[in-house]
C-alpha cells in the first residue's frame, strides 16, 4: 500500500520553529532517544523535548564532546554508542532493554554528508552505514521498548538530497561503480525514507508509527564540513563573508526552524493515525512528479518540494528492510 502523501494543512510553515510546534504539548513521563543530539538539529530537538518534560537520552560516539555540548542541559543522559560500530549499538540496546522501560520517541538525527569514500570494518560505505544501517540496527533492536510504550514514534531525518539517487540495490557500497559523495549521500537519504515506510507497515498494529523528514538547508551544524565554502556560496546558502543565509521560503533555515518538522512528527496530535509519510515545512509533503530530473548539485532546484516516488515505493521499502536485516546481522 502506498503512503498517503497528502498535506494536512497543519497551520505551520517553513518559518515555524520547534518551539512553535511543541507549544501546548506535555511530554512528561515520556522517554526519547535522539541520535546526533549534541549538535545542530539534534541538540535543538533535545532542548525542546526537555523543555516539554521528556526524559532524553543521547547516544554519542564521543561522550566527552557530547557532555561539553550539552553542559547547559545537565539532565540530558549521555550514553556511549557509535553508529558505525555494530557491537556498540548492540551494547546500548542491551543496556536500555535491561531497564525494562518504554520508549516513546526515537529521532534518528545523526548523519554524515558528502564525505570522501570510507568504509567501516565490514566494508560498508560509510554514509549508507551511518545514516541508514546503524539506525536500522538501533531501532529494530529497541523494538520491545517501542511496543511497551503503547504508542511510539520513530522519526528519520532524511533530506531533499534523496533526489540525488535511489537506493542502488545492485551496488550499495560502491564496489563496482565510481564513488560520488553526493550519490552516496542521496542513496542514504532515500534509504531513510524507505526505512520509515516499511517500519510503519510493520509497527502500526503495535502502536509504532514512523515518519521521515526534510529539515531544510541549515548551514553551520557540522553536517556540511566536507562541502567546500565556494560550493555553499554558489548554492546561495552562504554569503561571501561565510555567514549562513536564512530564507525559509527558499528552504534555507536556522536551527530552530530546521528542527521544527522532526519535533512535529515526533509529537503532534495532527499525525494521530498516520505514518510512513515524508514531511517537510511542518506538514506532510506532496509527491514530486514522476518526470522530475534530479539536479546533481548542492542547492539545485532549491525551491522544489515533495518526495520522489522511488523513495516511498513499498516494494523497495520491503526489499531494503530484508537486505538491511542481513547486513546488520552479527
Catalytic residue numbers read 185
Asked whether residue 280 carries a pLDDT value surpassing 60, the answer given is: yes
Segment among 77-86, 100-109, 228-237 with least mean pLDDT: 228-237
**Three-state SS annotation for the chain:** CCCCCCCCCCCCCCCCCHHHHHCCCCCCCCEEEEECCCCHHHHHHHHHHHHCCCEEEEEECCHHHHHHHCCCCCCCEEEECCCCCHHHHHHHHHHHHHCCCCCCEEEECCCCCCCCCCECCCCCEHHHHHHHHHHHHHHHHCHHHHHHCCCEEEEEECCHHHHHCCCCHHHCCCCCCCCCHHHHHHHHHHHHHHHHHHHHHHHHHHCEEEEEEECCECCCCCCCCCCCHHHHHHCCCECCCCCECCEHHHCECCHHHHCHHHHHHHHCHHHCCCCCEEEECCEECCECCCCCCCCCCCCCCCCCCCECHHHHCHHHHHHHHHHHHHHHCC
* Domains along the sequence of the chain with CATH: 18-328 (3.40.50.720)
Select the more confidently predicted residue: 248 or 204. Answer: 204
208-224, pLDDT tens digit by residue? 999 999 998 875 555 55
pLDDT given for residue 289 in this prediction: 72
9-53, pLDDT tens digit by residue? 999 999 999 999 999 999 999 999 999 999 999 999 999 999 999
How does residue 94 score in pLDDT terms, banded at 50, 70 and 90? Answer: very high
Amino acid at each position: 500500500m502506498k503512503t498517503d502523501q497528502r498535506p494536512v494543512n497543519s497551520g505551520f510553515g517553513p518559518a515555524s520553529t520547534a518551539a512553535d510546534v511543541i507549544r501546548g504539548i506535555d511530554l512528561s513521563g515520556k522517554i526519547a532517544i535522539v541520535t546526533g543530539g549534541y549538535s545542530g538539529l539534534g541538540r535543538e530537538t533535545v532542548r525542546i523535548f526537555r523543555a516539554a518534560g521528556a526524559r532524553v537520552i543521547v547516544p554519542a560516539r564521543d561522550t566527552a564532546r557530547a557532555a561539553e555540548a550539552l553542559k547547559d542541559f545537565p539532565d540530558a543522559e549521555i550514553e556511549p554508542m557509535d553508529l558505525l560500530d555494530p557491537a556498540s549499538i548492540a551494547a546500548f540496546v542491551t543496556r536500555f532493554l535491561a531497564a525494562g522501560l518504554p520508549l516513546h520517541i526515537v529521532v534518528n538525527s545523526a548523519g554524515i554528508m558528502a564525505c570522501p569514500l570510507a568504509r567501516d570494518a565490514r566494508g560498508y560505505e560509510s554514509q549508507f552505514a551511518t545514516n541508514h544501517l546503524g539506525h536500522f540496527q538501533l531501532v529494530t533492536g529497541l523494538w520491545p521498548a517501542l511496543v511497551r510504550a503503547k504508542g511510539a514514534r520513530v522519526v528519520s531525518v532524511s533530506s531533499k538530497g534523496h533526489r540525488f539517487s535511489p537506493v542502488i540495490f545492485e551496488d550499495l557500497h560502491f564496489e563496482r561503480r565510481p564513488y560520488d559523495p553526493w550519490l552516496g549521500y542521496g542513496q542514504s537519504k532515500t534509504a531513510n525514507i524507505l526505512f520509515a515506510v516499511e517500519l510503519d507497515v510493520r509497527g502500526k498494529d503495535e502502536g509504532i508509527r514512523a515518519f521521515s523528514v526534510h529539515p531544510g538547508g541549515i548551514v553551520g551544524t557540522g553536517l556540511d564540513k566536507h562541502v567546500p565554502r565556494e560550493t555553499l556560496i554558489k548554492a546561495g546558502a552562504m554569503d561571501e563573508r561565510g555567514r549562513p543565509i536564512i530564507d525559509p521560503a527558499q528552504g534555507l533555515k536556522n536551527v530552530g526552524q530546521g528542527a521544527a518538522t522532526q519535533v512535529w512528527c515526533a509529537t503532534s496530535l495532527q499525525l494521530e493515525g498516520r505514518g510512513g509519510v515524508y514531511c517537510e515545512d511542518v506538514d506532510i509533503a506532496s509527491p514530486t512528479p514522476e518526470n522530475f530530473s534530479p539536479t546533481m548539485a548542492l542547492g539545485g532546484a532549491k525551491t522544489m518540494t515533495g518526495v520522489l516516488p522511488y523513495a516511498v515505493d513499498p516494494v523497495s521499502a520491503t526489499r531494503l528492510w530484508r537486505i538491511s536485516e542481513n547486513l546488520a546481522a552479527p
